[in-house]
Amino acid sequence: MTLAKILVAASGTNEGQGALETALLMAKRFNAHVEAINVRRNPRDAVAFMTEGMTGAVIEEIIATAEQDIDRRADSASHDLVGIAERLGVEITQTPAHGHASVTFRQEEGREDEVIAERGRLSDLVVASRPTADGDAKEEVVAESALMESGSGLLLVPSGHVSDLSGNAAVAWNGSAEAARAVHRAMPLLQQAQEVAILAPEEGSMRGPGPDSLATYLALHGISCHVHNLPTNWTNIGDTLLEITHNEKASFLVMGAFSQGKLRQLILGGATRFMLNHADLPVLFTH
């Protein structure tokens, strides 16, 4: 099992540089191809819900400003990609080949959340920057769409964080189908980890296979691992998982993504939502 194709959202923002470099570092580790996509939205979307009472001149001015911002981000994304690829020695090409680390930069028009989700369906992994409290609101929409609608694993990288995901790893385990899918998606990374910590309640306290069963399964794949039982007195499972992941000196966390009901789209479960908003290290989700 390996990673052959990685999709990364090339937003052209400072927050997105870490995700872009992380994707290229992983391409070097796995001799994979990265597809870096910059999505240009229609500048008229900027005034779609705010035209009432505005003159035509004001509307055109807003559209022109939005178009300038779109152009600036596209130029920044391309510049960032070229700089990182040249520094890391990753070939920029339009004709990727098997077993060779490379990257292609593409621009597409449309809604970024829809484009990333659709292109992610033929990728082994989608990499995106974790939404920040003071960042662009659409980053959260893009992340949720990639998670719920791409069918691929989603690696969320905190702003300013760069990693090739080598070293130790941690897996949040509760015996569920979602957690199992996350393990299967992460297998190429887990097989190259120095040590994998299984973060789970005590054996016998969950439905489905327990942590010892997961440890046996991972060992069959040649993975060195151990079980770290979660404390029974936690108040915030997200905080607890992050703290233990850091204590285990893991470079990333693997976990299933859970959902509860529907509004505009699926509402994320509590631990998933917490990680989406607060994780300070890369988290690999699978829904």
Domain stops at, among 157, 187, 222: 157
H runs (alpha helix) in the chain: 17-30, 56-88, 112-120, 138-149, 177-191, 211-220, 237-247, 270-278
Same domain, 183 and 129: no
Is 162 inside a domain boundary? Answer: no
- Domain holding 226, by residue range, is 168-286
- Give the Cα separation of 38 and 52 in Å (integer): 31
Of 1, 34, 19, 32, the C-alpha closest to 163 is: 19
- Domain count for the chain, please give it: 2
Token output for 197: 């910590």
Give the β-pairing of 196-200 and 225-229: parallel
**Cα separations in angstroms, 157 against 53, 215, 253:** 41, 26, 11
Domain stops at, among 104, 133, 157: 157
Same domain, 132 and 176: no
Q: 56-88 and 17-30 helices cross at what angle (nearest 10)?
A: 30
Same domain, 177 and 151: no
pLDDT-based confidence at 266, cuts 50/70/90? very low
Q: Over the stretch 105-156, which tens digit does the pLDDT of each residue have?
A: 999 988 898 999 999 999 999 999 887 766 555 677 788 888 888 888 999 9
Look up the CATH number of the domain holding residue 239. 3.40.50.620
* Per-residue pLDDT at 269: 54
* Per-residue pLDDT at 233: 80
* Cα angle value 204/201/186 (rounded, 5°): 105
Same domain, 124 and 183: no
- Give the Cα separation of 187 and 218 in Å (integer): 9
Length of the chain, in residues = 287
Is 193 inside a domain boundary? Answer: yes
pLDDT-based confidence at 277, cuts 50/70/90? confident
Under a CB-based contact definition with an 8 Å cutoff, are residues 42 and 71 in contact? no
Q: Over the stretch 8-47, which tens digit does the pLDDT of each residue have?
A: 999 888 888 999 999 999 999 999 999 999 998 876 665 6
Owner of token pair 């990727």: 96
pTM given for the model: 0.87
